[in-house]
Structure 1
Amino acid sequence: MGRLLRVPAAGAALFVLATMVPAPEVPPAAASAPAAPAAAAPGRFALAGKLIQGGLASGTVPRGTRMLTLEGKAIPFASDGRFIIAFDRDAPASARLEAALADGTTVSETLAIAPRAWDISRLDTLPKYPVPQPEFERTRPGELAQITAARSKETDAAGWRQDFLWPVTGRISTLFGSQRVYKNGEAGSYHSGIDIARPTGTVVLAPADGVVVLAAAKPFTLEGNLLMIDHGMGLNTAFMHLSRIDVTVGQRVRRGQPVGAVGMTGRATGPHLHWSLKWRDARIDPLLVAGPMPMAD
């Protein structure tokens, strides 16, 4: 897989590479979960974590904040002033963070978002795949509606405050953000998560505390057995291709709790776990949240 160019795209690709992929080109200090920020100085934000495409950061609002916005969109913050923000794979170079204070003044900061280089592979002789089939077109809208409904659920989960665990450890077979470009320069959707190759039946752990918001009753066309966990403050996990799901919708799960098992249901060429993270509309690189992959058992 060559790293040749950046191609803008939206959505999520679901494909598996058989070979080991190189480490992503990000500053070494970025490859760790954001630490809890210090208390904000008067009239200032306190931020922790790298501001980078696909990254997650945490912060504390200035004292007296009554409303917080990022690029004009309101975002929640806890009673102690803590909040999280994240930046999509194709996030622009800057974002404006603003707090409206009770005394009528505002505090704002323009955040510089570091760019990244993505792994792009060219398949110039192949048309974009898959070609939509009637069965896919019939079932897919209902599946997407379930995913959208799950992501719209707001819970009081506090996993967003925790350091995230790797749900499984093993060989990373596809990196977040990688993309294929097909015949006539038609770009496929970029890979929305990270793939970890492990045998079917390998236990999958909850990366942080949360509430189950989707546990597929039957395999989805692309994702297979799909499990989604809300970690609070708009941050959620999705596990795809599971061989089984061991939790139910509405169940509270704890960091490190078994929630399912690796499989190859849905569109998958071999057993692996696809783990994706999303904050609101921003897709996040799990490698930047969970840190470097530890050695597998």
Structure 2
Amino acid sequence: MESSERALSRRHILGGGLGLGLASVVAPHTLNAEPRPYGSVWARTLKSGPYSLTGKFVQGGFAIGRGEPHQDILVDGTPRGLTSEQGDFVIGFDRDAPQMARLVIGKGPSMDFEILRTPYDIQRIDGLPPEQVSPTDPVLLERIAKERDLKNIGFASREDAAWFMRPFVWPLRQFRVSGRFGNQRVLNGEPKSPHYGFDMAAPEGQPVYAPQTARVALAEPDLHFEGGLILLDHGQGLISMYLHLSALTVKTGDMVHQGQMIGQVGQKGRATGPHLCWRMKWRDRALDPSLWVLSDVQ
């Protein structure tokens, strides 16, 4: 991607303006939708009826808002839980989100907005063990199925909280970007599913920190594909993931706070070198976690 596209996909501010893509927003009942500049990108806050919405309207992006407490959230015609006790809520836009999205809170008016397309690269990785690319061993396949069920339990966590309303920080103090969210993966020459993580190369053993307050929804030390894996629940179905860890310092059910050490960088599972694969999901939608961080990659 060009440098301007990198900035678009990484920089934002929560609580005081949020860097957004240059996507047009269609809101028939908007009270205030004037764009405000921040750096080389644009911030946009929408208000419609009793609620407001601020976010990155791009594929892999998100938006947060505040309305009335305990109201139904309807996104693209599908129920997505309730607003918090304070009326806070979050919605996410999948990697392949369609051009338009619609939000309805409670019995308020609908808010329609365009989702900017994100360009994705092709990433080729060779030299992986065959069983890490296309497993065939029945015993291994049974293990993978059991681990999938375990992960699904973690993904189903739904903390009644809104910790996502504050800015996130990077989970590593120092790193080199080695893979971006959404890239099409070709493993050992075989096309595979897109990469849903943001890869951060760093020495093995480097501490990994919680980027935001959360409940530990899953903490497993040695899964086949992920190696050491931690899932953090930031509220309302927003789950962040930390893969290939060499060590874990938290356990399932723990409460963690922003900046708290949760594990160490490793290269367990499907990895060719030490790095942290940082991922995020909002319910069933894959998001780019790097969009949540206040500061840009150095």
Residue among 178, 198, 201 paired with 1:173: 178
Q: Does the aligned pair in 2 maintain the 1:277–1:284 contact within 8 Å?
A: yes
For 1:93-172, list aligned pairs within 5 A: 93-101=99-107, 106-121=108-123, 130-134=133-137, 135-168=139-172, 169-172=174-177
Q: Identity over aligned residues, as a percent?
A: 35
Specify the alignment match of 1:214 in structure 2.
Answer: 218
Distance 1:86 1:80 in 2: 20
Residue among 234, 237, 254 paired with 1:234: 237
1:42-68 deviation per Cα after TM superposition (whole angstroms, max 9, x unaligned): 72541112211011211123x588422
Given the superposition, is the C-alpha separation of residues 222 and 24 from structure 1 closer, same or farther in structure 2, using an over 3 Å criterion? farther
Q: SS of the counterpart of 2:234?
A: strand
Q: Does the aligned pair in 2 maintain the 1:40–1:60 contact within 8 Å?
A: no
Specify the alignment match of 1:197 in structure 2.
Answer: 201
Deviation at 1:180, TM superposition (A): 2.9
Deviation at 1:156, TM superposition (A): 3.3
Given the superposition, is the C-alpha separation of residues 188 and 65 from structure 1 closer, same or farther in structure 2, using an over 3 Å criterion? same
* Structure 2 residue 77 is matched with structure 1 residue 72: yes
Distance 1:96 1:30 in 2: 24
Q: Does the aligned pair in 1 maintain the 2:94–2:285 contact within 8 Å?
A: yes
> Counterpart amino acid of 1:193?
G
Distance 1:26 1:293 in 2: 10
Distance 1:117 1:84 in 2: 24
Given the superposition, is the C-alpha separation of residues 41 and 95 from structure 1 closer, same or farther in structure 2, using an over 3 Å criterion? closer
Q: Does the aligned pair in 2 maintain the 1:236–1:277 contact within 8 Å?
A: yes
Q: SS of the counterpart of 2:98?
A: coil
For 1:48-67, list aligned pairs within 5 A: 48-61=54-67, 66-67=71-72
Higher strand share: 2
Given the superposition, is the C-alpha separation of residues 41 and 229 from structure 1 closer, same or farther in structure 2, using an over 3 Å criterion? closer
User: What is the root-mean-square deviation in Å for CA atoms of aligned residues?
Assistant: 2.9
Distance 2:181 2:294 in 1: 13
Question: Relative CO higher for 1 or 2, CA cutoff 8 Å, sep ≥ 6?
Answer: 1
Distance 2:50 2:161 in 1: 27
Distance 1:131 1:182 in 2: 10
Residue among 250, 274, 282 paired with 1:279: 282
Q: Does the aligned pair in 2 maintain the 1:33–1:288 contact within 8 Å?
A: no
> Counterpart amino acid of 2:271?
A
Given the superposition, is the C-alpha separation of residues 43 and 202 from structure 1 closer, same or farther in structure 2, using an over 3 Å criterion? same
> How high is the TM-score relative to the length of structure 1?
0.80
Q: Does the aligned pair in 2 maintain the 1:157–1:211 contact within 8 Å?
A: no
